[in-house]
Amino acid sequence: KAGVTQTPRYLIKTRGQQVTLSCSPISGHRSVSWYQQTPGQGLQFLFEYFSETQRNKGNFPGRFSGRQFSNSRSEMNVSTLELGDSALYLCASRGTENNSPLHFGNGTRLTVT
């Protein structure tokens, strides 16, 4: 089975711009979640989607949004970028079995200048 795929791998944007990140989950996984990772802060939960519905949301401003498509692929959008948005953005999918682990992609490294 192919793993979780995130594109692009690296991205450089300037303040005020917007960005869209993409995530393709493991085949058969309907849950996709997004995380922001910065040094010293660890993994910060952004949101989770299950069967195209947002199931849970973290404490991030409304500039951060996401969606999930019928094929379970997900996108995350950040509008009006700020310098503090520079981070590694990780996507993870998981199966429906009880206590199933998160399967992470290798992330998108976003740099805002």
Residues near another protein (CB under 8 A): 4, 31, 33, 40-43, 45, 48, 50, 55-56, 90, 92, 94, 98-99, 101-107
Minimum distance between the CB of residue 54 and another protein, rounded to whole angstroms? Answer: 12
Minimum distance between the CB of residue 15 and another protein, rounded to whole angstroms? Answer: 25
Cβ neighbour number for residue 94 with a 10 Å cutoff:
21
Q: Which is nearer to another protein, 7 or 14 (CB)?
A: 7
Q: Is the dihedral of CA 93, 95, 96, 98 positive or negative?
A: negative
Q: Which is nearer to another protein, 54 or 80 (CB)?
A: 54
CB-based contacts of 39: which residues, under 8 Å, 6+ apart? none
Residue 45 has which token pair?
């939960």
